């Protein structure tokens, strides 16, 4: 299984798991995870982006 196939498989499983909890996964979420997976951003940068998006929504 290629790296990309593994990522898509993991995202599909994540979506199913979160759907059970009635939590949708949006394309923006997947794009952010893809950037982290491709080592374009660090864990800290990803967490900060998530925190900032929560603050802007609130």
Q: Measured between alpha carbons, how far is residue 37 from residues 32, 43, 50 in Å?
A: 9, 10, 15
Domain layout of the chain by residue ranges? 3-57
| Angstrom distance (rounded) from CA 4 to CA 38 | 9
The per-type count for the chain, helices as H runs and strands as E runs, is 3, 0
Can you give the pTM of this predicted structure? 0.73
**Tens-digit pLDDT profile for residues 16-56:** 999 999 998 889 999 999 999 999 999 999 999 999 988 88
- The vertex-22 CA angle with 45 and 7, nearest 5°, equals 45
pLDDT at position 47, please? Answer: 94
Biggest CA pair distance of the chain: 40
């Amino acid at each position: 299984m290629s790296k990309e196939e593994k990522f898509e498989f993991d995202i599909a499983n994540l979506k199913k798991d979160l759907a059970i909890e009635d939590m949708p996964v949006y394309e923006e979420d997947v794009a952010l995870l893809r950037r982290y997976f491709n080592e374009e951003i660090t864990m800290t940068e990803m967490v900060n982006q998530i925190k900032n998006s929560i603050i802007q929504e609130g």
